[in-house]
Structure 1
Amino acid sequence: MLKNAILTLLSLAIAIGLGGYSVWYALNAQDGVGAIRIGQWTAFPEVGTLAADPYSKARVAREGVLALGQAEGLAFVAERDDAGEPLKRECTYTIEGGYPTARFWTLYAADQSLGVIDTGKPRQSALQSYDMLRRPDNSVVISVGNRPAPGNWLLTGGSGKMYFVLTFYDTPIASSTGLSDVTLPRILKAGCNA
């Protein structure tokens, strides 16, 4: 009798533990149901609509963010560089290339909760399209790191994992027809602090 009770409790503990872990994993994964991937950038175009999948709705509710509707814009998140390595705060990166048509876009380095990394200097912790120095072909090169760099520079600080969040506002790529020929900037690792 006691053996059956212990086996039942052990089975319940394993089932609840594995079920909780699978939900945690699904809510923290950048790939999943409804995701689109362009290079190293991932977005959930239906997150702000009624057609959003349950995991996207749960992620928005947990993080307390205001999701953009399809007509408002689209946010892309990158957790790896072009070589497939995870992004780290102690490394420097170059984000280069063209950007899709949008009225306005922003870029910032984020922590695990996708909030802006606190560097103590908020004006250098996020960039926006109106302040960019552009090349003659309209492409943009952004240096990312904890030391100032000439041109466009995004400040990071600390150590550990990081993400890049690139949000386009009032853009045709937010609709499903606008995603067919979109290219996003490349993320190249320039080096890491020892």
Structure 2
Amino acid sequence: MLKNALLTLLAVAIAVGLGGGSVWYALHAQSGVGAIRIGPWTAFPDIGTPNADPYSQARIAREGVLALGRAEGLAFVAESDSAGRKLRRECAYTIAGAFPTARFWTLYAADQSLDVIATGKARPAALHSYEVLRQTDNSASISVSSRPAPGNWLLVNGAGTLYFVLTFYDTPIANSTGLSDVTLPGIVKGRCDA
């Protein structure tokens, strides 16, 4: 009798532990159901629509964010560089390439909760399309580091995990089905302080 009770308790503990762990992973992973990947960038195009999968809906509810509908825009998140290495605040990066057509876009450095990283300085860890210097072919190169750089510079300091969030507003890519034809800028790792 005691043996059956202990085995039942063990089975319930394993089921709750594995079930809770899989839900935690699904809500924190930048991949999975409904995700599209373009280079190092991941987006969930249906996240702000009635067609959003249950995991996307749970992610919105947990984070308390206002998700963009398809007609409003699309947010891409990068957690690794173009070579697949995890992004770290101690390292310098160059985000370079063409940006898709959009009325307005923003790029910011984020922590694990995808909030803008506090820099402790007057300069935020964010840029937008109206302040970025562009090449003649409409591409841009953005330096990301703790040390000032000429041209487009995004300040990131501290240590730990880093994410980049690139959001396009009022863009044709948000409501198109051909997202695989879109190219986004690459992320190249530079030197690291630690």
Common fold: TM-score over 0.5: yes
- Report the alpha carbon displacement of residue 121 of structure 1 after superposing the two structures with TM: 3.0
* In 1: Cα distance, 2:175 partner to 2:112 partner: 28
Q: How high is the TM-score relative to the length of structure 2?
A: 0.97
Q: 1:14: Cα distance to partner?
A: 0.7
Residues 1:90 and 1:137: Cα distance change in structure 2 (over 3 Å):
same
1:19 maps onto 2:19 in alignment: yes
TM-score, normalization by structure 1: 0.97
Residues 90, 157 of structure 2: 8 Å contact kept:
yes
Moved over 6 A (4+): none
Q: Contact 1:124 / 1:153 at 8 angstroms: preserved in 2?
A: no
1:33 maps to amino acid:
V
- List runs of 5+ in structure 1 lacking aligned partners: none
Name 1:55's counterpart in structure 2: 55
Residue aligning to 2:9: 9
CA contact (8 A) 1:74 1:167 kept: yes
Q: Hey, what does 1:66 align to over in structure 2? A: 66
* Paired residues of 1:119 and 1:157 also in contact (CA < 8 A): yes
1:102 deviates by: 0.1
Identity in percent: 75
Partner of 1:84: 84
Stretches of structure 2 that go unaligned for 5 or more consecutive residues are none
Q: Distance in 1 between matches of 2:122 and 2:103?
A: 23
Q: In structure 1, give the amino acid aligned to 2:192.
A: C
Match of 2:147 in 1: 147
Query: Which segment drifts farther, 29-38 or 118-127?
Result: 118-127
2:112 alignment partner in structure 1: 112
Separation in 2, partners of 1:130, 1:178: 26
Residues paired across the two proteins, number: 194
CA distance 1:56–1:81, shift in 2 (3 Å): same
1:75 and 2:78 equivalent? no
Deviation at 1:191? 1.1
Q: Is the 8 A contact 2:118 2:124 kept in 1?
A: no
- Given residue 39 of structure 1, which amino acid in structure 2 is its aligned partner? G
Paired residues for 1:93-132 under 5 Å? 93-121=93-121, 123-132=123-132
**How far does residue 124 in structure 1 lie from its aligned partner after superposition?**
3.1
SS of match in other structure, 2:8: helix
Measured in 2, the distance between the counterparts of 1:183 and 1:121 equals 33
Q: 1:171 to 1:116 in 2, by over 3 A?
A: same
CA contact (8 A) 2:109 2:156 kept: yes
| Cα-Cα RMSD | 1.0
Match of 1:165 in 2: 165
